[in-house]
Amino acid sequence: MNQKELSELTDQELLDEAKKMKSFSITNAFLIGFLMGIVIYSIVVNSWGMLTLIPLYFAYKFINDPKNKRVKEVENLLKERNLK
């Protein structure tokens, strides 16, 4: 399924997309926090090691996910259309 450009979405479709993005953001924030907790625990208990680097890599991937940019684009479009 090809995703439409955000500017081509109707108001209702844009609101539905914002709802999906909100649940994505919450899940993403939880995973990043969980992984950073593992990193901090690993540093306190064992110092640096593989147990530290693996979650750190995944947290980096979650932070740089392209969907994060899409979330900001959806929020800006909602503000432009005065839907929020």
Q: What is the pLDDT of residues 20-39, one digit of tens each?
A: 888 888 888 898 899 888 88
- Report CA-CA distances (Å) from 76 to 8, 43, 54, 73: 14, 39, 34, 5
Q: Give the pLDDT score at 3.
A: 57
Instruction: Give the model confidence (pLDDT) of 34-79 as tens digits.
Output: 988 888 888 888 777 777 788 888 888 888 877 778 888 888 888 8
Above 70 in pLDDT, residue 9?
yes
74 Cβ neighbours under 8 A, 6+ residues apart: 6, 14, 17, 18, 21
Indicate the domain borders of the chain: 28-84
For residue 53, the tally of other CB atoms under 10 A from its CB is 12
